[in-house]
């Protein structure tokens, strides 16, 4: 019984090695109770039919959008869809099919016509046996593993900017609607899992053709897209973290990093050294402040200053230290001994002069967070000894 539950539902994914297909397969393979059959252009028709013999659900992503001849639109988009539907009808297995179509199905260009005709083939299939067909008309999907210099401006811009190559923008003000591949996969998974959880066999769910949309979508100009990607590339020098409160920026940044070459994952921070040790800024953001790390030699004290508006947090990662405070209108000194293994955070209030002294035998490594990015023109740092 346990083995049967692990292969409860067989899902055939056509176009499994493509951009969307490869992402979907990864997610499906992590699910218990699902077995994935993959079909792509290097598979035979016999392998396709063998998968259809046992499949409980078909996610049909295979198609042609950049052919060498116009005729390939029909063979890759219409004929393959008809072949799948006709075979299922022939063997008496009217299982549900999810189709990845395109918003261009509303247009009269050769690609759009072929996608619309594929939808019509599936509509006929649904009518014959009351089978469920779900059609998604997708637009400008972006995300990891999308092929650059093919048909995705995001993939091309990400690849070129990540590799310090030029990009071409004909109209920076042109706006495009984008959807993220993870949102596409989420919607596909809802359909597949919804079917698997509600039915025990093919054909028992409500039939007919259903059109679904993927959301959210993001309308972004080409100029803004390029500016964001360039800011991601330069963030290694500026240390400025993108504004991840914007969902598009958050998803685009994850996409951009996927286009770095493996030998470009690492980068060095600028170290500032003096007789006390060293210090380096890590990341910063105007709404967040900044994080930096320091290494301090034994017996050395850092600080002896206070701030009017800026607050800080100190976290000793390694070594032993005493963090001292004194209200600038008082002579009372407050001491906090800290050790790296304690993971103890110290808040630094405004109006308190403060210092951190390495009282251990080795280097003191400390992580600092400040609520404001340091501005040399307005440093908000007033020097005053803690010990009076």
Please list the active-site residues. Answer: 111
pTM for the full model?
0.90
Distance between CA atoms of residues 91 and 124, nearest Å? 17
* Nearest-angstrom CA–CA distance, 354 and 356: 7
Give residue 5's pLDDT.
45
Name the CATH superfamily, with its identifier, for domain 271-383: Jelly Rolls (2.60.120.10)
Dist. CA 156–CA 16, nearest whole Å: 22
Quick: pLDDT tens for 80-138: 999 999 999 999 999 999 999 999 999 999 989 999 999 999 999 999 888 999 999 99
- Burial class of residue 170 (count of CB atoms within 10 Å of its CB; 0-12, 13-18, 19+): exposed
Helix/strand number for the chain, H first, E second: 10, 20
CATH of domain 2-220: 3.40.50.720
CA 107 to chain centre: 31
Residue range 204-244, pLDDT digits in tens: 456 789 999 999 999 999 999 999 999 999 999 999 999 99
- Domain extents for the chain? 2-220, 271-383
- 316 three-class SS: strand
> Could you give the strand order of the β-sheet that contains 333-339, starting from the edge strand earlier in sequence?
333-339, 320-327, 352-358, 301-306, 382-383
Within 13 Å and on the Cβ side, how many CA atoms surround 32? 5
What band does 2 get if pLDDT is binned at 50, 70 and 90?
very low
Query: What integer pLDDT is reported at residue 196 of this predicted model?
Result: 64
Predicted confidence band at 203 (pLDDT cuts at 50, 70, 90)? Answer: very low
> pLDDT value at position 3?
47
């Amino acid at each position: 019984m346990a083995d049967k539950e692990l292969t409860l539902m067989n899902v055939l994914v056509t176009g499994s090695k493509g951009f969307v297909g490869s992402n979907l397969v990864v997610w499906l393979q992590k699910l218990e109770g699902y077995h994935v059959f993959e079909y792509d252009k290097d598979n035979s028709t016999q392998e396709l039919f063998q998968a259809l013999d046992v499949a409980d659900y078909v996610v049909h992503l295979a198609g042609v959008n950049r052919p060498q001849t116009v005729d390939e639109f029909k063979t890759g988009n219409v004929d393959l869809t008809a072949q799948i539907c006709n075979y299922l009808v022939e063997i008496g297995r009217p299982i549900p099919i999810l189709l990845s179509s395109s918003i261009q199905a509303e247009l009269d260009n050769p690609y759009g016509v072929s996608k619309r005709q594929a939808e019509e083939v599936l509509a006929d299939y649904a009518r014959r046996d009351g089978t469920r067909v779900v059609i998604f008309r997708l637009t400008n999907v972006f995300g990891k593993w999308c092929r650059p210099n093919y048909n995705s401006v995001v993939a091309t811009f990400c690849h070129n900017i990540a590799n310090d190559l030029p990009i071409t923008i004909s109209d920076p003000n042109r706006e495009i609607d984008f959807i993220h591949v993870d949102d596409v996969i989420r919607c596909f998974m809802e359909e597949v899992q919804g079917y698997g959880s509600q039915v025990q066999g093919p054909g028992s769910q409500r039939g007919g053709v259903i059109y679904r949309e993927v959301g959210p979508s993001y309308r972004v100009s080409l100029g803004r897209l390029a500016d964001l990607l360039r800011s991601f590339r330069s963030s290694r020098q500026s240390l400025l973290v993108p504004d991840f409160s914007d969902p598009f920026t958050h998803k685009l940044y994850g996409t951009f990093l996927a286009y770095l070459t493996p030998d470009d994952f690492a980068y060095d921070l600028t170290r500032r050294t003096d007789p006390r040790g060293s210090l380096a800024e890590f990341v910063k953001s105007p709404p967040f402040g900044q994080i930096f790390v320091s290494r301090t030699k034994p017996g050395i004290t850092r600080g002896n200053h206070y701030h009017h508006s800026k607050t800080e947090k100190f976290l000793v990662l390694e070594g032993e230290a005493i963090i001292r405070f004194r209200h600038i209108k008082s002579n009372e000194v407050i001491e906090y001994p800290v050790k790296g293994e304690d993971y103890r955070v110290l808040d630094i209030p405004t109006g308190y002069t403060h210092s951190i002294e390495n009282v251990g035998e080795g280097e003191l490594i400390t992580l600092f967070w400040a609520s404001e990015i340091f501005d040399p023109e307005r440093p908000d740092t007033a020097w005053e000894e803690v010990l009076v």
